[in-house]
Amino acid sequence: MRTDLFDFDLPAERIALRPATPRDSARMLVVQGDGVLRDRHVSELPQWLEACDQIVVNDTRVISAQLMGRRIGRETEPKIEATLIKRLDGSRWQALVKPAKKLASGDRIRFGNEGKVCLLGHLDAEVEAKGAEGEVTLSFTFHGPALDQAISDIGTTPLPPYIASKRMPDDQDAADYQTMFAANEGAVAAPTAGLHFTPALEAALRQRGVGINRVTLHVGAGTFLPVKVEDTAEHRMHAEWGTVPAETACQLNEARARGGRIVAVGTTSLRLLESAAQADGTIQPFAGETAIFITPGYRFRAVDVLLTNFHLPRSTLFMLVSAFSGLDTMKQAYAHAIASGYRFYSYGDACLLFRAREPHGIE
């Protein structure tokens, strides 16, 4: 499919730089299965669900993946900015670095400031390999829990580029950029649909009879990247690690058998559930990497309803929601949202999408 089919114009002022307060006061555009649009708020979510429906949230926790340092061991010591994107093992991470041209295999980078934190105040890493797209493999001097603690001590919250380019991250982001479900460390980007949840909303959903289930998908920085190729068939997805516990799979299958719907909170939960689903829709326990790429024409097996934020033009996420609700429907929904002042992206408002009644390709 042509990538330009998923393009649209978004005024810069529609990009949210801070979340709504309280979180569930964010607006929610309901997109019904027949394409009808309704303007609501996230706090009204229980009214759109039924007893026996099952919500699935992603309980990944964002790590302090933004590291600032300098190259050492050569005549000059240029500043280096690294964003960790994928853990490879106990001491190695794949990272995106700026400026990548200043680094070569074998170079050493010192992150942090002497005397600040992290044992001696800094954390060293060697550039083990360089990739073609600016990514490098960093081999750190610490390993396992010691490395995790060091990264936590000297790193900062890795805000998406469309926010970080407009303001500096601050202490408030450390709280704002975690969902209330965050438990399992490993993400470098938040599963942002989950940011809308509050204890009050959770209580209202449970009172309604809606179950809340957890999966884990460690979101990578690739979630922010636009698709640069002209044809979606040529796009390579970044793999992300996730798990669907046996208990969650069992709960969802039992609910489905009773006529309940599966409601994914976020595209991360949806992608993981679809990766774990069999052809008949049965969800199996899952642990491993997924690089599933969903575009119009995909037949959904597991998820019936999707709560998600508003996504970037030409992004794999806008392609996914177009597959879920229909490309024309989502273009109309986004045009309505832009005209109506909805707030976009990670800290923005939400969409509640009900799966299109018929499979959609190009409309």
Q: What is the CATH number of the domain that holds 78?
A: 2.40.10.240
Is residue 151, in this structure, part of any structural domain at all? yes
For residue 292, how many other CB atoms are within 10 A of its CB?
Answer: 15
Total domains in the chain come to 2
At residue 357, the pLDDT reads: 61
Q: CA-CA distance, 181 to 183, in Å (whole number)? A: 6
Strand extents, DSSP E, the chain: 27-31, 37-41, 54-58, 60-62, 66-72, 79-87, 92-98, 108-111, 123-130, 135-140, 184-187, 211-217, 240-244, 262-265, 286-290, 305-309, 350-354
Residues 131 and 234 reside in one and the same domain: no
Together in a domain, 233 and 220: yes
Q: Is residue 251 part of a domain?
A: yes
C-alpha to C-alpha distance for 302 and 264, rounded to whole angstroms:
9
Q: Give the model's pLDDT for residue 223.
A: 66
Domain co-membership, 75 together with 9: no
- On whether both 330 and 246 belong to a single domain, the answer is yes
In a domain, 165, yes or no: no
- Do 221 and 233 share a domain, yes or no? yes
Tell me what pLDDT residue 120 has. 53
Residue 161 lies in a domain: no
Q: Is residue 246 part of a domain?
A: yes
User: How far apart, in whole angstroms, are the C-alpha atoms of residue 40 and residue 339?
Assistant: 15
8 and 149 both lie in a single domain: no
Three-state helix/strand/coil letters over 301-347: CCCCEEEEECCCCCEHHHHHHHHHHCHHHHHHHHHHHHHCCCCECCC
Q: Which residue has the tokens 């046996």?
A: 246
Same domain, 321 and 180: yes
Task: State both tokens at 343.
Answer: 């707030």
CATH of the domain at 203: 3.40.1780.10
Do 242 and 334 lie in one domain? The reply is yes
pLDDT at residue number 314: 93
Q: Is residue 112 part of a domain?
A: yes
Same-domain status, 195 and 72? no
pLDDT at 361: 37
Would 213 be classed as within a structural domain? yes
Q: Give yes or no: residues 140 and 288 share one domain.
A: no
Report the chain's terminal Cα–Cα distance, integer Å. 12
Residue 205 shares a structural domain with residue 116 = no
**Tens-binned pLDDT, residue by residue, of the chain (363 aa):** 999 999 999 999 999 999 999 999 999 999 999 999 999 999 999 999 999 999 999 999 999 999 999 999 988 899 999 999 888 899 999 998 989 889 999 999 999 865 444 445 689 999 999 987 778 999 999 999 999 999 989 998 888 888 988 888 888 998 999 999 999 999 999 999 999 999 999 999 999 999 999 999 999 877 666 788 889 888 888 889 999 999 999 999 999 999 999 999 999 999 999 999 999 999 999 999 999 999 999 999 999 999 999 999 999 999 999 999 999 999 999 999 999 999 999 999 999 999 976 443 333
User: Do the beta carbons of residue 132 and residue 109 sit within 8 Å?
Assistant: no
Domain that holds residue 114: 66-155
Residue 118 tokens read as: 């992290």
> Cβ(342)–Cβ(14) under 8 Å?
yes
285: in domain? yes
Domain final position from 155, 183, 205: 155
Answer yes or no: do 133 and 147 share one domain. yes
What's the token pair of residue 70?
């300098």
Residue 60 CA: distances (Å) to CA of 174, 190, 254? 14, 8, 24
Sequence-ordered list of residues with C-beta below 8 angstroms from that of 272, at least 6 positions apart, any chain: 58, 215, 217, 242, 244, 286, 290
